[in-house]
Amino acid sequence: MAATQKMKIFKLCMLAGVALISSVGAAAQAVTPVQTILGDAPSIPKNIVIMIGDGMGPAYTSAYRYYKDNPDTQEIEQTVFDRLLVGTSSTYPARVSGYVTDSAASATALATGTKTYNGAISVDTNKQPIPTIMEKAKALGLSTGVAVTSQINHATPAAFLSHNESRSNYDELAQSYLKTDADVMLGGGQKYFPVGLIEKFEAKGYQYLSDFNLLDSVKQGKVIGLFADVQLPWAIDDSDSNKLSKMTTKALELLSQNNNGFVLLVEGSLIDWAGHNNDIVAAMGEMEEFANAIEVVEQYIRKNNDTLMVVTADHNTGGLSIGANGEYSWDTAIIRGVQASPDFIANDALADGDWLARVTLNLGFEPNEDEISQLSRARMQGKEVMITSIKQLIDSRSNTGWTTGGHTGVDVQVFATGPAASLFAGYQDNTDIATKLISLLPKVKSQPNK
């Protein structure tokens, strides 16, 4: 093509972009000219999917890229996170709690647009309830749902559905879910929902499930599915490692039956738990299944261009470091080769029989003499010491580092696709994410259509 022709086409595109931008309203201004020219997606979403990788700081998405990389090819393949990255977000809580947030304060920020103290479940620093995006969506005639791998009354989902001065009030939070009118609640937490409480949910029209295999039998209506006593198993230890993506698929299927739209929260809750444990093997397993769930929503959006997905983390956990101890290396083959979580490997090693053969099989590599004597000493001191010893062995072999068993205050990433996705570009605060999402809800109440 001649240079002048190219220039002409470029100018035409620019003109079209400018004309479209100036002719549409403020909300659509953030939509890039390219998206507008394609003209196939509305500028305001009908449905919103919020996805939170709990504790998933930037090192986790980088680590996941190398964990998934095929070492036999020259290029390092992009992940779903690389594909959908649009911006960053600060996570600091209200002044009173300093710069490092917990999941409760951050989820409150993401659900309400208000900063609060660490431990608060959608109440402000005066312990007064703040309306959440889920409550606003319900009041406008939309459906709402949560699908998580922790107990459903854990800090993140709780801050989207309820209010409490403390995240530790698990029983109160479980009771309060009766009033949320949320349509889909999937995750763990049987321990907090005794028979009497479940009967109250059933009296309100909920279908109750405790067997994951029955999830597919639910075709419509409200559902509360609790598939573990507390949290779901580590994905890497689970015979069905795709529970989060299956719950996400089902939630989309059920919620999309409301023509008014829906707001869904999906949380990869256990990324944070693995981070607290400084467990790179479990962390990568949880990252993989969270990535699968994001891809489920991405596929849904390819078919339903009226749906916005925003993915972020509530904070960073563990201070994960890709490379450590002054060495310029990170050996993903070691991590990929481990067949089960350190929890599982330690438990298995405490049983009788040839424990070393089983540990070697589970680790996927042969420990050297020093490592064997360390493992052997740890084994005699019981399960917790054995778990720690196995994690240390994997860390030192793979050169993985950690700085804390808690959270850190580093900014997290924001990923988005669908209508108004570009509103989330660049730097923002976690409260801005909520404010933007809430501004995208319908302005007037729709009639219930179900």
CA distance 276 to 278: 5
Annotated binding residue at 54? Answer: yes
| Smallest gap from residue 237 Cβ to Zn ion (A) | 20
From first CA to last CA, the distance across the chain in angstroms is 55
> Which residue is associated with the tokens 């019981």?
382
- CA 45, 48, 52 angle in degrees (round to 5)? 145
Tokens of residue 178, six digits: 């009766």
Scanning 89-97, 219-227, 264-272, 361-369 for contacts with Zn ion by CB under 5 A, the matching segment is 264-272
CA distance 86 to 62: 15
Q: For 237, which DSSP code?
A: G
CB nearer to Zn ion: give 183 or 272: 272
Scanning 8-16, 265-273, 376-384, 441-449 for contacts with Zn ion by CB under 5 A, the matching segment is 265-273
Size of interface with Zn ion, in residues (CB under 5 A): 1
**Region 56-95 residues binding Zn ion, contact defined as CB under 5 A:** none
Annotated binding residue at 154? Answer: yes
In 3D, which of 138, 245, 216, 220 has the Cα closest to residue 182? 138
CB nearer to Zn ion: give 316 or 362: 316
| Smallest gap from residue 275 Cβ to Zn ion (A) | 7
Q: For 382, which DSSP code?
A: -
Q: Is 103 a catalytic residue?
A: yes
Q: What's at 51, amino acid-wise?
A: M
Query: Which of 305-316 are b and which e, b meaning 16 or more Cβ less than 10 Å from the residue's Cβ?
Result: bebbbbbbbbbb
Q: Rule CB under 5 A: say whether 314 interacts with Zn ion.
A: no
Scanning 124-132, 207-215, 271-279, 372-380 for contacts with Zn ion by CB under 5 A, the matching segment is 271-279
Q: Rule CB under 5 A: say whether 272 interacts with Zn ion.
A: yes
Using Cβ positions, the residue closest to Zn ion within the complex turns out to be 272
| Smallest gap from residue 102 Cβ to Zn ion (A) | 7
CA distance 368 to 265: 45
Q: Rule CB under 5 A: say whether 288 interacts with Zn ion.
A: no
Annotated binding residue at 407? Answer: yes
Annotated binding residue at 272? Answer: yes
> Per the residue annotation, which of 89, 97, 103, 256 is the catalytic one?
103
| Smallest gap from residue 87 Cβ to Zn ion (A) | 22
CA distance 310 to 52: 9
CA distance 53 to 136: 23
Active site residues: 103
Residues engaged in binding Zn ion (CB under 5 A): 272
Q: Which residues are annotated as a binding site for Zn(2+)?
A: 54, 272, 276, 314-315, 407
